[in-house]
Amino acid sequence: MPAGPGPLVVVLLLSLLLLVAGIHGRLQHEEEEEEEEVQDQEGGSSSFTLPVWAPHVPESGEERREHFRALMAKDMRRMMRQVPELMSKTDMFELPMRSALNIAQVGMYVVVVRIGTPALPYSLALETANEVTWINCRLRRRKGKHPGRPHVPPAATTMSIQVDDDGGGGGSGGKSKVTKVIMNWYRPAKSSSWRRFRCSQRACMDLPYNTCESPDQNTSCTYYQVMKDSTITSGIYGQEKATVAVSDGTMKKLPGLVIGCSTFEHGGAVNSHDGILSLGNSPSSFGIAAARRFGGRLSFCLLATTSGRNASSYLTFGANPAVQAPGTMETPLLYRDVAYGAHVTGILVGGQPLDIPPEVWDEGPLGNDNPEAGIILDTGTSITYLVSAVYDPVTAALDSHLAHLPKAEIKGFEYCYNWTFAGDGVDPAHNVTIPSFSIEMAGDARLAADAKSIVVPEVVPGVVCLGFNRISQGPSIIGNVLMQEHIWEIDHMSTVLRFRKDKCINHQQLNRHHKKASSSSSSSSSSPPPYPAA
């Protein structure tokens, strides 16, 4: 028989068992005490506190500015990452864009966007300082009518726009001409992807300009917007999808877009386009909704405002290689309510800095503490508008180079001259040389304007005007005339504004996929193309 365990082994085993039992008993006792303590706290009115310290804010002005810029950048990155990408292998998409000056006689840029299911094309005016995307809309009613538009033609119709030859200046001697523009009406009842918001939804209450009076689940979420140029639009909010051509040339759906189905429009140039494409800094804007799915970046290249009706550039969401090229300027991006701005450090005319009070440019540490200071970008505005403290020295400096020319009176402009514009702004025969003009920005960025951006050629035949107007209240506004022939990128992830000179007429990405997108578009819709020749 095998020998049993020796006495020493038995003692060791008994000791080990006693040790384990002691540890288990202690742990159990501690757990019981902990449970009793928690129960005591829950049974009474006691509480516990932990210290919280406020973040340190630097005292110096420049350090405070950088501190708050970093906070804004962190918040924007956090917001951008909360929404998944549209496609895991998709990094960008583009929309064709044109100047409407030689098409509908209005100084704006129009982007063709395919909205709804089936997707139909709509020509929408590009606005970087607007937060509502809306389309001329026809709601189905029992009698085939809806408020604000008692009679609506079929899906598309030719609108006649009367334009004065005196450049909009009125006057008794101005001749009039008629421009025909194709208008497309959006019909929610014919789109399977339309989902209207109701007043009972939280999403409705968060939308701008909503006019709901009570959270009634049977009432559509209505809105009424009055824009800075006194244009009025009203209608109902809904959610829709857009069809876009992505990087590989295929057509994909972009969901979750807030669309205003506009049943009433008045003022401005509402008859020259199908609606507004908003790029403003608001969760409801098309620009933010699309950028959040494509890396937080959007860019657009503005053709010359006088480019022909067949010339086309692009609006891009996602990484755009065309932005990163020699000569690209970078400056911190400022959020001015729904608009985008940059910190200006000075303005030079003919290479000489102008005497402008520095407080005019002081937006404050957050970039929006002083809402009337600084400057914003607005593609929906043509002329550049400056507060008096900036407008007076700018126009005085430019007028000193043109004051010898005969003056002309044109409504809407203060400085106009009888002179036929030369392509580069140099005309030795009339002793005219348009001086250089540049806006200096933080980060050593400089927006240098060409002659045709400083003066507006041929406002009427043989007359040019300075491309600046006075604004009574800030911030000042850089309009699309000064922004033309530049590519611009708004990078939310880095809170950086990038721009550089570009004719915007040779874009390989757009050219490569244009035929494929056009072929897909024509097969899914028989609607006429926007802005055909009259």
pLDDT, tens digit, 9 for 90 and up, residues 452-465: 999 998 888 999 99
| DSSP tally for the chain: helices H, then strands E | 9, 31
- Categorise residue 5: left if φ over 0, alpha if ψ from -120 to 50, beta otherwise: beta
pLDDT at 407: 96
pLDDT at 169: 38
The first and second tokens of residue 221, run together, are 């979420």
Q: What is the pTM of this model?
A: 0.75
Question: Any residues with CB less than 8 A from the CB of 144 and at least 6 apart, and which?
Answer: none
CA 40/CA 58 separation, integer angstroms: 44
Q: Which domains does the chain have, with CATH numbers?
A: 92-139+183-294 (2.40.70.10), 325-507 (2.40.70.10)
Sheet holding 416-418, edge to edge: 416-418, 463-466, 455-460
∠ CA 34-38-43, nearest 5°, is 145
pLDDT at 82: 43
CA 127/CA 238 separation, integer angstroms: 20
The first and second tokens of residue 8, run together, are 């020493």
* Sequential DSSP letters for 238-296: EEEEEEEEETTS-EEEEEEEEEEEEEEEESTTGGGSSEEEE-SSSTTSHHHHHHTTTTT
pLDDT at 507: 61
pLDDT at 489: 97
pLDDT at 37: 37
- Below-50 pLDDT ranges, the chain: 27, 29-55, 74, 76-90, 100-106, 142-180, 510-534
∠ CA 275-496-376, nearest 5°, is 50
The first and second tokens of residue 58, run together, are 């630097």
pLDDT at 66: 56
CB 483 within 8 A of CB 379: yes
